[in-house]
């Protein structure tokens, strides 16, 4: 019994150190202390924010329609990545508040929404399943409060 308890404790400890937590931009902004390890953020690529930053890669903002977060990524984007689409980025939050992404995940279907993002939007009452994320419901959010 004691051996099983020790084994369970070791497993939980190992998973705790390797777990990657998921946050929306609003959840991340509301945290009193910002995470220092590897995390995932998700939301929509805010229209009008995707820009090439020269040799440093690309810059864009991820929004959950309440708040947004600037993301920098240096690497090859998924071929179907675009503005207005659901996205999950994995990386670290810098001291300057900019998210340095190591990995960008996107899906080709314009109606696609990562499950974590859809859940967060539903919880906040912002999910509109009758409209496409690439059009309509999220198109005019660039000027929304907290999106800048």
Report yes or no on 148 lying in a domain: no
Q: Residue 57's domain spans which residues?
A: 19-139
Q: 49 and 142 in contact (C-beta within 8 Å)?
A: yes
Report yes or no on 87 lying in a domain: yes
Give the model confidence (pLDDT) of 3-39 as tens digits.
888 888 777 766 665 566 789 999 999 999 888 889 9
Report yes or no on 76 lying in a domain: yes
Give the model's pLDDT for residue 135. 40
pLDDT of 127 above 80: no
How many domains, in total, are found in the chain?
A: 1
Which CATH number do you get for residue 69? Answer: 2.40.50.140
Output the six-digit token pair for 132: 């496409």
Give the model's pLDDT for residue 46. 93
**C-alpha–C-alpha distance, residues 72 and 7, integer Å:** 40
* Of residues 77, 63, 74, the one with CA closest to residue 133: 63
Q: Going along the chain, which residue ranges are E strands?
A: 21-23, 39-45, 51-52, 58-63, 68-73, 86-93, 99-106
pLDDT of 84 above 90: no
Give the model confidence (pLDDT) of 92-118 as tens digits.
999 899 999 999 988 655 455 667 777
> pLDDT band for position 146 (50/70/90)?
very low
């Amino acid at each position: 019994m004691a051996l099983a308890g020790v084994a369970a404790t070791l497993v939980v400890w190992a998973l705790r150190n390797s777990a990657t937590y998921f946050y929306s931009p609003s959840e991340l902004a509301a945290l009193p202390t910002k995470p220092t390890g590897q995390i995932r953020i998700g939301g929509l690529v805010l229209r009008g924010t995707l820009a090439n930053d020269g040799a440093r890669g690309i810059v864009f903002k991820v929004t959950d329609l309440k708040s947004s977060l600037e993301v920098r990524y240096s690497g090859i984007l998924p071929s179907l990545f675009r503005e207005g689409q659901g996205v999950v980025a994995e990386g670290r939050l810098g001291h300057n508040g900019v998210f340095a992404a190591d990995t960008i995940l996107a899906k080709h279907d314009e109606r696609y929404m990562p499950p974590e993002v859809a859940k967060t939007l539903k919880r906040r009452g912002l999910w509109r399943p009758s409209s496409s994320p690439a059009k309509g419901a999220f198109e005019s959010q660039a000027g929304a409060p907290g999106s800048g």
